[in-house]
């Protein structure tokens, strides 16, 4: 048991954090070596198991990432952009695999993560599920096969507590569609239509966000032209699938050299 790679979970009080903790505890290939919350959080200093309403685990929730990362071989991070970029620097110092599921990252955030990846393994993905990553590959192939007479629209739906839009997965699908067409997403992205917008511009990729209830995640890519429509769709009904994907990424990265990878690399789906 002591030879297993140790994992630190950040943001352990959140829904995803607690799901990750449970998945690590159930794993036969990883061990929980640390748990983090922001300094001043009510969980800091408490036994993690007791804080989660379980039996004591002998793991105290900490507020110092540097100390926690120094004892770990992997960090799994589904938090917020400001925290994630700080964790990236510290995980690189510790040479720990940094698995990033955080979304809403800016260009500056991504550049900082890329710098950290020069020194350690970073696995970053807008979505950790096998199904979504297969959908990404299919989206790219369909976009390659269809010309600009086919409009592309991406619709994503999530629970009412999600704070960013479009979702990281929607953007990942948009990037795949843009790559298939040989264009840059930032130059063809169309978001937030409202009022008299005029006719749809040819070649644009549209995004639409639905927020409500407890939707785990639904993503639909539509290719539309005169007289016909192709729809590709993925529905997630259990958040644990994202946690399982993150654990798979943490294990996969243990013998890899420094660099930034994604779930297509982990799943062996990259071209």
The catalytic residue positions are 158, 162
The H or E element that residue 140 is part of is helix 130-145
SS3 sequence of 69-135: HHCCCEEEECCCHHHHHHHHHHHHHHCCEEEECCCCCCHHHHHHHHHHCCCCEEEECCCCCHHHHHH
Instruction: Give the pairing type, strands 6-9 and 97-100.
Output: unpaired
Specify whether the CB–CB gap between 48 and 21 falls below 8 A. Answer: yes
Nearest-angstrom CA–CA distance, 211 and 205: 20
The dihedral of CA 197, 200, 206, 212: what is its sign? positive
- Give Cα 248 to chain centroid, integer Å: 13
Give the CA-trace dihedral at 209, 212, 216, 217, to 10 degrees. -20
């Amino acid at each position: 048991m002591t030879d297993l790679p140790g994992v630190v979970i950040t943001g352990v009080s959140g829904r995803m954090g607690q799901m990750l903790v449970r998945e690590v505890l159930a794993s036969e290939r990883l061990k929980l070596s640390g748990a983090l919350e922001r300094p001043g959080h009510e969980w800091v200093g408490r036994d993690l198991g007791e804080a989660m309403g379980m039996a004591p685990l002998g793991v105290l929730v900490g507020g110092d990432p540097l100390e926690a990362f120094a004892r770990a071989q992997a960090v799994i991070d589904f938090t917020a952009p400001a925290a994630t970029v700080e964790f990236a620097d510290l995980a690189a110092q510790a040479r720990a695999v940094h698995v990033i599921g955080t979304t809403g990252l800016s260009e500056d955030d991504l550049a900082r993560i890329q710098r950290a990846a020069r020194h350690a393994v970073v696995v970053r993905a807008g979505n950790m599920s096998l199904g979504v990553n297969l959908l990404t590959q299919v989206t790219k192939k369909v976009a390659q096969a269809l010309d600009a007479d086919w409009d592309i629209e991406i619709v994503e739906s999530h629970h009412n507590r999600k704070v960013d839009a479009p979702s990281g997965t929607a953007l990942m699908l948009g990037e795949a569609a843009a790559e298939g067409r040989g264009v840059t997403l930032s130059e063809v992205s169309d978001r937030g239509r409202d009022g008299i917008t005029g006719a749809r511009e040819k070649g644009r990729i549209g995004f639409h966000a639905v927020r409500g209830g407890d939707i785990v995640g639904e993503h639909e890519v539509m290719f539309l032209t005169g007289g016909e429509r192709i729809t590709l769709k993925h529905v997630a009904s259990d958040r644990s699938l994202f946690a399982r994907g993150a654990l798979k990424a943490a294990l996969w990265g243990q013998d890899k050299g420094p660099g930034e990878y994604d779930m297509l690399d982990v799943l062996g789906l990259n071209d």
